[in-house]
């Protein structure tokens, strides 16, 4: 997922305020002219009447109400793209904000230096007023533990406060339908189907065909979750259902959640759509925290997780789930003892918080599926023993459960639940299918 665009404070609000402000200045400048023109117009109208009475033309400066330019106390947010090498102080300087109070707080804030480091390509949102006073700033950052947080510094009644919290978002369903003309991937992009949904679609059917193989007249219908923060899309949830008509044949995939933490894709008959790795990195343990924007059970907020966590006791062996070559075996700040394995040109996996590496693990070493690479622990930024496991496809973190891990079969109870859900989604896909043109609807 690309989280760079995540924080979007409605820019048009700022634009409106600024425009409003300028139009007042415009009126102020024009007022003396209006005064003159009005007096002249009354006189000239009078001249066009038949048998004009004697008219004396008087040009007089009319008294105008005093116009005082008032410094606007309106606060507004502005978004500033973060460039390479930017610090918060440098961006504030660039925006003409010189607030010594704020600066002093920045350097004494309780947040760690890492959290206050800006990443090039992200956005820094700043709350200010016309006088260049600073009231707050916000940006998204990675807490180096696989979670995204909203870093906020705010001046509340003269007191500066700092926070780094999970991002609050709400989920809505989005439907998209496309009849391929030339290039399915480019046309999905034009329909504003997010990159991670396109990648997920590609991966679901990767064992059968690639999206690039779709031809003119083939059809794609999708239902997926869009996540909103403050009314603006901040990311995607799950691709819930996909149907593709390719060369006259129909392919379907429905997401089925095994529990609150993970799920997989099944066809209309309830059979797994994708063959994943042959095994799991830790055997017989449950996923304690799933991938993506997870709904917090109590706070009802959403938080982002770039991998999945397996609950396991310290010392539990971790195995390579597929053949590959170690890209990294090192100690990092947030991840602690970590290993990264490259499996093929596009797929890598990552293992974090290990208590120890298995013997001989170093970058460049080839490993076989099932080979022990290390042991579960709690090194780095971790609250207790667990394995944080990530899968990246072309460098993007994807849901390990739907993209790489073995897909479990459905029990009869699960199959019944699956059929209820998939038939409701099929009805929606069929609705899209009956509309002839490309649609982007029901956002």
Interface ranges with Zn ion (CB under 5 A):
146, 309, 388
Beta bridge partners of 370: none
CA atoms within 13 Å, Cβ hemisphere of 142: 15
In the complex with Zn ion, which residue's Cβ is closer, 146 or 385? 146
The two tokens of residue 352 are 């974090």
In the complex with Zn ion, which residue's Cβ is closer, 196 or 309? 309
Beta bridge partners of 367: 324
Question: Which residue, chain included where needed, has tokens 């139009």?
Answer: 23
Q: Is there a contact between 219 and 177 (Cβ–Cβ < 8 Å)?
A: yes
Q: Is there a contact between 127 and 137 (Cβ–Cβ < 8 Å)?
A: yes
In the complex with Zn ion, which residue's Cβ is closer, 191 or 311? 311
- Least separation, in Å, of the C-beta of 376 and Zn ion? 12
* CA dist., res. 206 & res. 200, Å (int): 10
- Least separation, in Å, of the C-beta of 195 and Zn ion? 22
Q: Is there a contact between 133 and 74 (Cβ–Cβ < 8 Å)?
A: no
In the complex with Zn ion, which residue's Cβ is closer, 143 or 323? 143
CA distances from 321 to 180, 292, 388, 393 (A): 36, 21, 14, 15
- Least separation, in Å, of the C-beta of 289 and Zn ion? 6
- Least separation, in Å, of the C-beta of 265 and Zn ion? 22
| Closest residue to Zn ion: CB criterion | 388
Q: Is there a contact between 317 and 298 (Cβ–Cβ < 8 Å)?
A: no
CA distances from 165 to 100, 264, 289 (A): 26, 29, 18
* CA dist., res. 152 & res. 204, Å (int): 37
In the complex with Zn ion, which residue's Cβ is closer, 103 or 355? 355
In the complex with Zn ion, which residue's Cβ is closer, 176 or 388? 388
- Least separation, in Å, of the C-beta of 307 and Zn ion? 5
In the complex with Zn ion, which residue's Cβ is closer, 177 or 290? 290
Q: Is there a contact between 130 and 21 (Cβ–Cβ < 8 Å)?
A: yes
- Least separation, in Å, of the C-beta of 406 and Zn ion? 20
- Least separation, in Å, of the C-beta of 167 and Zn ion? 16
């Amino acid at each position: 997922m690309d989280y760079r665009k995540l924080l979007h404070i409605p820019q048009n609000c700022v634009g409106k305020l600024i425009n409003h402000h300028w139009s007042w200045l415009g009126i102020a400048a024009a007022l003396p002219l209006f005064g003159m023109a009005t007096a002249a117009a009354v006189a000239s109208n009078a001249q066009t009447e038949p048998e004009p009475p004697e008219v004396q033309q008087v040009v007089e400066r009319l008294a105008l109400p005093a116009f005082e330019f008032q410094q606007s106390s309106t606060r507004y947010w502005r978004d500033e793209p973060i460039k390479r090498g930017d610090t918060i102080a440098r961006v504030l300087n660039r925006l003409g904000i010189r607030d010594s109070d704020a600066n002093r707080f920045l350097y004494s804030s309780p947040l760690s230096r890492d959290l206050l480091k800006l990443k090039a390509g992200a956005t820094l949102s700043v709350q200010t007023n016309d006088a260049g006073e600073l009231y707050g700033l916000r940006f998204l950052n990675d807490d180096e533990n696989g979670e995204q947080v909203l870093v906020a510094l705010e001046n509340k009644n003269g007191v500066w406060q700092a926070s780094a919290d999970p991002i609050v978002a709400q989920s809505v369903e989005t439907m998209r339908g496309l009849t391929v003309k030339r290039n399915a991937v480019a046309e999905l992009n034009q329909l504003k189907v997010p990159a991670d949904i396109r990648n997920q679609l590609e991966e679901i059917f990767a064992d059968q065909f690639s999206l690039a193989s779709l031809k003119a007249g083939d059809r794609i219908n999708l239902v997926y979750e869009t996540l909103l923060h403050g009314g603006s899309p901040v990311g995607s949830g799950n691709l819930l259902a996909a149907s593709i008509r390719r060369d006259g044949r129909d392919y379907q995939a429905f997401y089925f959640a095994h529990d609150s933490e993970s799920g997989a894709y099944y066809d209309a008959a309830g059979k797994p759509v994708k063959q994943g790795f042959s095994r799991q990195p830790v055997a017989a343990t449950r996923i304690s925290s799933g991938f993506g924007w997870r709904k917090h059970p109590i706070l009802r907020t959403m938080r982002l997780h770039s991998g999945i966590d397996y609950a396991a006791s310290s010392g539990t062996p971790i195995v390579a789930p597929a053949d590959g070559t170690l890209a990294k075996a090192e100690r990092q700040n947030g991840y602690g003892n970590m290993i990264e394995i490259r499996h093929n040109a596009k797929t890598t996996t990552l293992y974090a918080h290990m208590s120890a590496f298995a013997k001989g693990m170093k970058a460049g070493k080839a490993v076989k599926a099932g080979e022990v690479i290390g042991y579960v622990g709690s090194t780095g930024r971790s609250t207790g023993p667990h394995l944080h496991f990530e899968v990246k496809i072309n460098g993007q973190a994807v849901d390990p459960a739907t993209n790489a891990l073995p897909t479990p079969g459905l029990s009869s109870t699960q199959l019944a639940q699956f059929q209820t859900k998939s038939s409701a989604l099929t009805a929606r896909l069929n609705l899209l299918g009956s509309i002839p043109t490309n649609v982007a609807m029901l956002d």
